[in-house]
Structure formats: structure tokens, C-alpha cells
Structure 1
Amino acid sequence: MGGLRRFLRAYYAYVFLFDFMLAYAIYTALFELEGIAVGEIGVLLAFWSASAIVLEMPSGALSDHFDRRVLLVLAPLLKALTFVCWGVANGNFWLYGLGFLFWSAGQALQSGTREALLYERLAAEGRSDDFDKVLGRDAAAEGLGIGAGALVGGFVAQLNMDWAVWLSIPPLLVGAVLALALRDNRPMRGGEGDETPATYLSHFADAFGEFRRHADLRFVTVYMAVGLITFELLEEFDQLYYLAVSVPIWAWGVLAGTVELFYAYASVAAHRLSGRPWLAWALPLLGGALLIAASFGNNQWYVLLLELAYVAIAPVAVLAEARFHRIMDGRSRATTTSALVAAENVAGIAATLLFGFIAQWLGILPAYGWAGVVMIPVAIWVFVGQRRGMRAID
């Protein structure tokens, strides 16, 4: 038990530090101030998402085939190179793009790897039933890292934007050191209960086999990639919403930090809501209603409705991810998880382009309202799926 506690302390610290980036608060604004046009920024963001899709499953297969700890050490080091590129870019479009490529590579190495390692460690300790509880704390650590980075980064950037970029590197270096304590406890690289030697390419076949065998796995994947991803992509546009309702710039970091704090609490408490599958459609519907209400904003107080929409969705995001891992029964857990992340990225690109088009055509506030309306068919689909025996959450 003591070994598991030490593992979890190192794990949560690693997750926090991986996203404790001061540059989160200002990087798109920095690009524009250094001469990158808004259209070029859009290209950079699209390249970021596209490179993440390409790298996600190959990195998951690496994780299933080699020592997961090695990949978790390399991931923050690659992400640190992002801020080295940006720190010396001085308006060079290609260096910003290279930085995004390093970010995608680092993110891909740790995304499926992290959750697979966590589930396997709990299963080895006979604690797999606690996965949703621990995964909620994982999401909380990530959210707190993002929020704290944005909060501190906003104040640092007020003094000097370049400092916010360079000071994003030390937390990643500390995270790489912490990853040395995250031992991969698999007895063999072949995987969970399968004595057949695995090859690198066989992990792709294993992952697709998981989706072919388990209808529930497909159901949860679509639920997360089509329904829940909407709320994640909207955060990329929140600064435009803040401008539309006249939130002062100094308060942007405070808002980001505060909403991540409440999101973290909702994630930690998510396991207490297990056993209520109706929440899988009710909470997205509530989040959608809050988005619609926020779209009528004509003063700063409407931003509270927007932030509540993000908090409302936190519990089902955790519970759906936990169910995804419980359904899996194969040896290529990281590759299968990476397939989920890749699906989320594909859906995210399509949704971002659509949202951007609506925002340009109707305005940023109506676009948030239409994003909320999308939750109505999502809720109906989940409700009908549950009547047919499918479950998005336990």
C-alpha cells in the first residue's frame, strides 16, 4: 500500500507539472504581437492538431511495446523543446510550427501511456475498482496545472511575455525527473494475460480488435469524441468571448485559474456519481443549456454561465474515460487509448472549423449558443443508446 501511495504522489505531481505552463496564458497573443497574422495562427493550430493525430497511435504502440517509464521521461523533455523554439523564434513562422510539432510529440508519448500505466498499477494492487476515483484526481491534477500556469503566466506576462515562455521549461524538466519513479510493472512486454510475443505492429491490430469486439467501447468513444469534445474546443475561443462581454484582460488568467479549480473539484468528486448512467445525457444537456444562456451575454456576469458549463461536464468526462478502460481486455491498452485520443482530435478539428465559420458568420456569442444546441441531439442519442443496453458511464 505504501508503494502505491508513493507512486500516486509522483504520478499526480508529474501530471500537474506537465501542464504547468506559464505560456498557456499568452501564446496566441504572443504570436500576433511578433508579427504572425491571425490566418497564420489558424494554420499553426490546425497543424498542431493534425500532427497530434498522426503521432498518437504510433506513440501508443511504442508504449505497449517498450518500457512506459522511458516514454514518460521523454515526453516532458520533448514538450520543453516547444518553448525553446518559441523563445528564439522572434516572429519566425516555421519555428513556431516546429514548437507545435515538439508539443504534439510530447503529448502523444504521455497521453495513452499515462492512463495505461495508472490502470495497470491499480489492477496489480487489486484496486482497479478505484480507477474512476483515481482518474478523477488525475484530471484534477491536470486542470490545476493548467489553471495555475495560466494564472501565474498572466502576471508574469504583464511584466515580460518572453519570461512566460522561458519559465515554462523548468517544470517540465522536474517532471522528467519525477517520471523515473513511475515504474512500469508489466511482467512482460507481451501484455496482459497473453503469452504470445507481441510485435510493434501487432499492437495496432490489437487496438482495432478491441473496437471490433466491444460495441460499448465504440459507444463511449463516439460519446467522448463527438459530444464531450465540444466543451474542450470551446476553451480555445474563450478569450474572444471575454472580449465580447467586456471582461478586462487582467482578469483572463484569474478566470482560467478559477474555472480549473472548480473543474478539478468536480473531477475529484466524479466517482461519487457512479451508478447513475442517466447523467451521461443529463449533464451534457445542462452544459448545453448553460452555453445557450451564456450566448445572450451583454455584460461580464454572463461569463459565469460559460464557466459553469465546463464544470458541469467534468464528472461525466472522468466517468466515461474510466468506463473506456474497464471495457478493454487486451494487451495493447496504450494503443487503444491513443486511438480514442486520435478520434477526439479528428472530431476536434472538424468542430473547430465549423465553430470558427459560425463565429465569423453570426458572431462569437451566437456561435456559443449553437454549440449548446448541439447537445440536444447528443443527449437524445445517449438516452436512446442506454435504452438499447449501451452505457457511456458506469
Structure 2
Amino acid sequence: MESIFHATSVLFEIPSGLLADRFSYKSNLYLSRLASILSCILMLAGQGNFWIYALAMIPNALAYNFDSGTATAMLYDSAVEGGLKEHFLKISSFISGVAEATISLGTVLAGFFVHGYLHVTYYIMIGLSLLVMLLISFLKEPQRQHQKAEVLTMGKIIGTVRLEFKNRPSLFVWMIIFQIVGVLMCMFYFYYQKELPELASWQISAVMLAGSGFNILAVALASRIGKSWPSLKLFPLMAAATGAVFILSMLGTPLVYILVYLLSNTLYALYQPVFSNDLQEYLPSPVRATMLSVNSMLFSLSMIVIFPITGWLIDSLGFRMTFISLGVFLLLLTPFLQQALKRVARGLRHSPEKIS
């Protein structure tokens, strides 16, 4: 079912961004919640039927697609329109912190519903989606976006995106580098739980809750660090630090694995808002959601390739040796990463001016 989710996500990531740029940000946000409600209804109607559950993954992925890039693009354009562009990193970091806090709350509540009451979570999701649709109705569409959407066609949007990447190839290279290396930095999160079979489900939830707490601190620090360190200089340091943390896996104890998870997850959470803030400055408002969707699609494609390779390495070399090797690889990659991102920085400086 996960493969259905990711395949749908890859196929519809860019089209969903096109819809946001062609019509409005709010329309995409409404579609996201409607798709989420449909997915929940199918899950409730499944009654153990695998094919209905598999079908539910399609609107579930669409819900992610319609929101992915759109919410961030709308937030940035709203900040620019409101004269708060310089505070965007602080605003986005705060929102990321709120998201982490709600994830923490969901992790705790999940422990109460997982045994015998799982269906209740879908009713809760439907209710929250309806509430969110009400809140979306109170949002103000950024005026610049509203004016542009009336004159742009799908063809013009695609042409503009192609022209942007042609004129700024460094922008596309930047996205590719971040997403590929970023996926490598995330890999421990997806596999570490299998190495902790002795922990009860509530203990795993407690670890994830602690991880959310660390992430909240990380995104709070991001708004400060991003003012002094541009993402192009910060990223190699984050990759090297993650590599050093992965090498701790050589100790091979559950406590160390938990520590590696907490630290590697925190480092990624720290960098993400800084990258998002810097990237936004180079994206034209009329095609902002589409270009952010391209960025998200690169993450999905990287995940599709790297995730199974990591699983194969774990089966072949073992968990500990795989992440020791990955840690060494990230450390060795760091100087090359620094040089590559210096070239990206030069390319961006020589390209057309930043978007205001």
C-alpha cells in the first residue's frame, strides 16, 4: 500500500502545483481536505478488504499532493504582501514547531486508540478536515497570486518553470543535491525501530515523543541560525554531523540507536526551514507552488531509489555496518558537497535577481 501512496504522489505532485498556480492556493487546500475525507471514508468502509484499503491510498496521497508546496507558497506570498518577508523564516519555523507539537500529541493519543479503537481515528480525521475547511474559508488569497492566476494558462506555467530552470540551472542542481543527501540523512528514522524489538509500543511512542520535542527545539533554533548561516553553507555541516552521528551505530546498543535517531532527526529538522526560506527567495510567485512541487517530487524520487537500496544493504551487511558505512560516506562526501554548493551559490549570484 505504501508503494501505491508513493507512486500516486510522484505522478500527481507537479500537476497539483500547476492547479494551485493556475487557479488559487485556497482551492488546492480545499481539495486536500476533501481527498483526506474520501480516504478516511474508504478506510472505514474497507472492513478488512485489502483492495479498498489500497484504493484509499490514492486519495490519501492526493491529499498530501494538494497541500505539499501550496501551503508554503501561500504563506510566503502572504508574508511578502504583508511586508513580513524578512520574518518568513521565523514564521515558518514557528509553524513547523506547532506541527511537531501536534505530531507529539497525535503520537500520545495513538497509544490509546491503536488497540480496538483504530476506526475512531478516521472519524477524528474527518472532523478535523471539516474544521480545517472552515478555517481555510477565512484565509485571504495573496493579491499578487490572485491577479496572476487569472491570466496564466497551464501551458504558460509549464513554459515559465522550464525557462526558470533553463536560466537558473543552479537552482535545479541545488534542489537535487538537497533532496538526495537529505534522504540519506533521513534513512535511520525508517529502519531503527526494527532494532528495538524489546521495547514495548508505549516505549517506542515515548521515543518518538522525545524526537518531536527535539525537533521543536531544532526549528526554534533554525530561525536564529538561518539569519547568520545561509543554507548553502550550513548544509555540508549538517551532512557531516549526521555522518558522525551514524558512525555511533558501531556501539550497537538500543540506547545508542535511540540517541542516533534523536540527533539525526534533529539535524534534519534544523536545516529544513533554513533551506525552505532561502529557496523561496528564488521562486517567482506565479509558479511558486509548481516549483515547490518539483522540489517535493525530487524528494519522492530520491526516496523511491534510496529506500530499497538501504533495505538491501541492511539485509546484506546488517543494520550496524550499513549505517556505519553511510556515516563514513556522508563524511567523505562533505568536501565535495561544499565545492558543489559553492558553485551553486556562484550560479545563483550570476542568475537573475532574487524574487521579491
Give the TM-score of the pair, scaled to structure 1.
0.80
User: 1:237: Cα distance to partner?
Assistant: 2.7
Partner amino acid, structure 1, of 2:103: I
What does 1:332-351 align with in structure 2 at a 5 Å threshold? Answer: 332-351=287-306
Give the distance between the partners of 1:287 and 1:326, measured in 2 at CA. 27
String of CA shifts for 1:90-136, please: whole Å, max 9, x gaps.
33222122111111111111112111101100110121122222221
Partner amino acid, structure 1, of 2:210: T
1:273 alignment partner in structure 2 = 225
* Residue 81 to residue 233, structure 1, CA distance change in 2 (3 Å): farther
1:356 alignment partner in structure 2 = 311
User: 1:300: Cα distance to partner?
Assistant: 3.3
User: 1:63: Cα distance to partner?
Assistant: 0.2
What does 1:74-89 align with in structure 2 at a 5 Å threshold? Answer: 74-89=31-46
User: 1:376: Cα distance to partner?
Assistant: 2.5
1:45 alignment partner in structure 2 = 2
What does 1:189-338 align with in structure 2 at a 5 Å threshold? Answer: 189=146, 191=148, 197-243=151-197, 246-274=198-226, 275-277=228-230, 278-294=233-249, 296-329=251-284, 331-338=286-293
Contact 2:69 2:293 in 1 (8 A): yes
Partner amino acid, structure 1, of 2:92: L
User: 1:187: Cα distance to partner?
Assistant: 4.2
Contact 2:249 2:256 in 1 (8 A): no
1:22 alignment partner in structure 2 = none
String of CA shifts for 1:195-253, please: whole Å, max 9, x gaps.
x931023212222222222244223302321111233454333431332xx33222112
Same amino acid, percent of matched pairs: 19
More helix by share: 2
What does 1:2-151 align with in structure 2 at a 5 Å threshold? Answer: 44-151=1-108
Give the distance between the partners of 2:338 and 2:106, measured in 1 at CA. 38
* Residue 51 to residue 392, structure 1, CA distance change in 2 (3 Å): farther
Contact 2:211 2:262 in 1 (8 A): yes
Give the distance between the partners of 1:172 and 1:166, measured in 2 at CA. 10
Contact 1:323 1:392 in 2 (8 A): no
Contact 2:145 2:286 in 1 (8 A): no
User: 1:75: Cα distance to partner?
Assistant: 0.8
Partner amino acid, structure 1, of 2:241: L
User: 1:313: Cα distance to partner?
Assistant: 2.2
Give the distance between the partners of 2:322 and 2:285, measured in 1 at CA. 41
String of CA shifts for 1:144-170, please: whole Å, max 9, x gaps.
232321221123214533334443332
* Residue 181 to residue 367, structure 1, CA distance change in 2 (3 Å): farther
Give the distance between the partners of 1:391 and 1:82, measured in 2 at CA. 45
Give the distance between the partners of 2:135 and 2:75, measured in 1 at CA. 15
Consecutive unaligned residues of structure 2, counting only runs of 5 or more, are 350-356
Give the distance between the partners of 2:342 and 2:16, measured in 1 at CA. 37
Give the distance between the partners of 1:347 and 1:392, measured in 2 at CA. 24
Give the TM-score of the pair, scaled to structure 2.
0.88
Consecutive unaligned residues of structure 1, counting only runs of 5 or more, are 1-43
What SS does structure 2 have at the residue aligned with 1:126? coil
